[in-house]
Structure 1
Amino acid sequence: MQAGIFKVFLVVITGIVNHPLLFPKNNATLPATDEHLLQKMKEHEENIKSQQLQLELLMNSEESQEEEPKTDIEAWDFWSALSMAIFLLIEIWRQDFQGGNTQDHGKEEDELQCLGNAWQGVSLPNKTMLAIFYDQYIRGAIYDTTKTREFVEGFADDLLEALRSVCNRDTDMEVEDSVCVGSTYENWRVNKPLVCDLIVPFAPPEPYHFKCQPWVTEQSIYPGYGTIRVYGPDDEAAGCVCGKTKLGEDMLCLLHSQDFHVKKNDGDMDLLCSKNSNFLSTDRVMKWFQTSVTKAWSKISHKYEFDLTFSHLNSPGALRVKFKSGKVISFNITPVVQYEDSDLYFISHFPNSTELYTEASNIHWILSFAVYERRFLKEIAKYLPANSCHLSCLQIMTFLYSKQCHLTGPSGLTTYHLKTVLLHLLLSRPSSDWNIVMLEERLRDMFVSLEKSLLEKKLNHFMVGNTKLPHFVNLPEIFHYTEPLNLFRTFVLNRDLYQKTLAMFYEMLKNASVLINEYSMQIPAANGNKSSH
């Protein structure tokens, strides 16, 4: 009986091991991405062959013996049954995996090839038409940028000063001066209404402090994000022993005042942390900031002859000023946490982005390199021709993108992706190639580069892991030498979003000439009303 079980077991193992679907040797249909899996399978094959040899030796030994302990028979019967079940499951999984996945992979390849052909025969507007469009439409759309920025910066300073005055200096957050970032301050925003972006660093009161942990230091499963841990007087990381011991009446801490123990308030900090944790919550911080801004405005509203409201409920820092004349000015003021002694900030969300950041929990903050990006554009302009076309390319591409979004709706593509493409091109092409007379060529380069990135589902972050960054950027080394961060990672995980984005891109490409020609023809008749577009 035992010998029969062993023979059947060996036949099943041999059949599975030599099955062409499970261990293919010259199977060209196996996707290249399965090389690692195939190697593992081959290793299993060698192990099974070794076990097969051992079983054959045991069978030969068994024939020379008249009887064997019952416990050994039961053990081998259990092992044979379990092994057959495992390998049969592997065989079924292998057939399903190869049959379904190969079909989907081939279908996607055909779709990409079909979409890729959309570039053929598509022509961008010529130099003359591009020049007319830029001079008459783009320049006309940004003529009042300077005045708007001056108003927003002045009002934001007044609002933040009022916010500090209504906060308890002993228990509330310490709010610093605002920092101007984004397309408006980088001089390439063309979308209306004009929106200014400001970030406001904040820090906890003593004896608390924040410890920021980006994904590159904590090996987070959320690349591009980080966490902010809150340390209090009872934590070892606080760095002062006065909160852990009783000082004499004549002894004072050189860091803290006499009423140090009266100041600390665990309840206030707990309200800003995620439930049952000591990590700062994006949702609770934004709620705190909205409440603080409301109190600050109620204190200074009598000084101004306009109304201040929140533009979006899901973005508490999005503010809207409406004058009695009907004119409206919008701006975003968002609380952030500074990473160590750098210009890198942890931000809860990007107000102007249509991309949804839903993959991380509310304790994960997005890392913003906005200050470094603005610095790069400012410094690199010193090496470019006086009439460089680099921002013109980005403005035209942003215009086409926004118009296409109005037609087909938002997709996985954002203006930040367009900006990233330009930043990479600025490092890859000689400075002389960015003369204004080469606007058409550089605009085409941007489209070609974006198409290549979309087809490969790979667009590396300009700052993270970019060893070609100029020294003047002064990025912290931990981000300079880490692995590149793929901004198109979402497309690898979400096929539907990827196909929608790719289709939107080619539609934008086909509509480029029509849109630019149409808006160029409308301008002369609308010079007296520049805000109509």
Structure 2
Amino acid sequence: IDNFTSVIGRALTGTFYPVLQQAIVFGSAFEGWTSREEEVVYRVLIPLTPPLGHAFHVERDADQQKPGRNFRVRVELECICPRHHQGANPLCFLHHTDVVRRRTRQPNLLDSLCTGFYLDVQKTVLWFCALVRASWRRLPQSRSWHLVLLGSTRSCNLRLNNDQESFLVKVLFGVQRHTSDIFITSRTRGARMPSTMWPETYAIAETKFFRYMARRVPQDSSHLRCLQLLACVLARKDFSIHSVKTIIMRLLNTIPVTQWHRRYFLLQLSDALEQLRLSLEEKHLEHFILGNQRLPEEIRLPQDVKRAKPPNLFHGLAQDPATHALAMQAYLDLHHR
């Protein structure tokens, strides 16, 4: 992916499209576990920063009816004139929009990838996919790999295959919140999501937490084995895999690292099952990142994320007795295996 962004970045020189930053890998494939015995999806986030003469302003969506925390990216033209000499730079979009368009023959970001004043997810995805198609033949990998772009409105999905193997890469786009490990991204959350809405994601922080713990637990730690086992079994029950991952992260953050040695595998698996049982019975499991004041210092959170009230991941179970009964049955089936 970095090869893509490097080639595309050179092609974008002198334009007013978003600047592509170094790709960030995240998700189970890079944490050392998978939830199903199916194909592994490699998830990548490409952070976007504003081009010259533009600024991004992240605004929280006020609609509390939508699930999760959602944001919009307001794009504003920014003065690039010398200080105290506004209007002196003929290439300043803010003061000389028509002149810049005429000289550069390039639209500003508001004209290209925005709907109104807001960065549009679908337009951004289509733009990047077009750049991938145009750039692929310039990459050395194109000599030995075949690329297929799979349709999606909020991500760029790449199928890469050759005679021996095939894999899927899901590319998301995001804007970093301050200098933290929290991003607002193009990921899908719920149906009929407006194309100018960017949900907040904590996946980068979660992957960073797993890497942090990997440096501290014993070399033959059992935490990934526990997570892998529970995830694979519960995936067949249509159970929320993220809730299982949340329980393992909470145990990792509370149990002394020495107790994750492989000889304690059955004990840790029992602890995880007990935490799952209690959470299901209480219909309550707090989000691991949001509102967590006990994360390692190297995992950087914005203040509003630190101080947020942790949402209940089992809120849906509390609202729907039938779904709760199915979840409890899935747990009982797992417990008696």
- Classify the TM-score, shorter chain: 0.7 to 0.9
Q: Distance in 2 between matches of 1:293 and 1:426?
A: 39
- For 2:26, the equivalent position in structure 1 comes to 181
Counterpart position of 1:69: none
C-alpha separation between the residues in 1 aligned to 2:254 and 2:325?
A: 24
Q: Which residue is equivalent to 1:391?
A: 224
Deviation at 1:189, TM superposition (A): 2.4
Identity among equivalent pairs (%)? 22
Report the alpha carbon displacement of residue 423 of structure 1 after superposing the two structures with TM: 1.0
Instruction: Indicate if the aligned counterparts of 1:289 and 1:316 stay in contact, CA closer than 8 A.
Output: no
- Show structure 1 runs of 5+ residues with no match: 1-155, 351-355, 406-412, 515-533
* Conserved 8 A contact 1:318-1:332: yes
Cα displacement string for residues 197-239 of structure 1 (whole angstroms, at most 9, x for unaligned residues): 1111122322111112346xx6865442222111114xxxx68
User: Does the aligned pair in 2 maintain the 1:289–1:335 contact within 8 Å?
Assistant: no
Indicate the residue corresponding to 1:166 in structure 2.
Answer: 11
Deviations 1:479-521 (A, max 9, x none): 112222233344456x3xx63464155236415665xxxxxxx
Q: Please, which of 176, 179, 187 is the counterpart of residue 349 of structure 1?
A: 187
Q: Are 2:114 and 1:269 equivalent residues in the alignment?
A: no
The equivalent of 1:333 in structure 2 is 171
The number of equivalent residue pairs is 331
**1:490-501 alignment to 2 at 5 Å?**
490-491=316-317, 495=320, 499-500=322-323
CA distances 1:424-457 after superposition (whole Å, capped 9, x unpaired): 1222333343232222232232233223333433
**Per-residue displacement from partner, 1:233-279 (whole Å, max 9, x unpaired)?**
4xxxx686889943299xx99xx9xx8674596664234223xx312
Distance (Å, rounded) in 1 between the aligned partners of 2:141 and 2:220 = 46
How far apart are the structure 2 equivalents of 1:400 and 1:248? Answer: 63
Q: Does 1:293 align with 2:139?
A: no
| 1:329 positional shift | 1.7
Q: Work out the CA distance in 1 between the residues paired with 2:263 and 2:298.
A: 28
Tell me, yes or no, if structure 1 residue 462 matches structure 2 residue 284: no
Match in the other structure for 2:76: 231
Write out aligned runs for 1:1-80 (5 A): none
RMSD in angstroms over aligned alpha carbons? 3.5
2 CA distance for matches of 1:457 and 1:441?
Answer: 24
- For 2:213, the equivalent position in structure 1 comes to 380
Q: Alpha-carbon deviations, 1:160-200, whole Å to 9, x = none?
A: 22322333532222112211111121112263323221111
> Given that residues 35 and 241 in structure 2 are in contact (C-alpha distance below 8 angstroms), is that contact kept between their aligned partners in structure 1?
no
Task: Give the number of the structure whose alpha-carbon radius of gyration is greater.
Answer: 1
1:414 aligns with 2:256: no
- Partner SS, residue 473 of structure 1: coil
Residues 398, 311 of structure 1: alpha-carbon distance in 2 compared, 3 angstrom cutoff: farther
TM-score, scaled to structure 1: 0.54
**Structure with greater proportional helix content:** 1
> Paired residue for 2:59?
213
Contact 1:194–1:330 (CA under 8 A) maintained in structure 2: yes
Structure 2's unaligned 5+ residue stretches are: none
Tell me: CA distance 1:391–1:171, structure 2 relative to 1, closer, same or farther (3 Å): same
Letter of the structure 1 residue corresponding to residue 45 of structure 2: I
More strand by share: 2
Structure 1 CA distance for aligned equivalents of residues 182 and 87 of structure 2: 38
- Is the contact made by 2:20 and 2:48 (CA closer than 8 Å) also made in structure 1? yes
Q: CA deviation at 1:418?
A: 1.7
CA distance in 2, matches of 1:454, 1:240: 59
C-alpha displacement of 1:334: 1.7
Aligned residue for 1:466, secondary structure, equals coil
Scaled by the length of structure 2, the TM-score of the pair is: 0.82
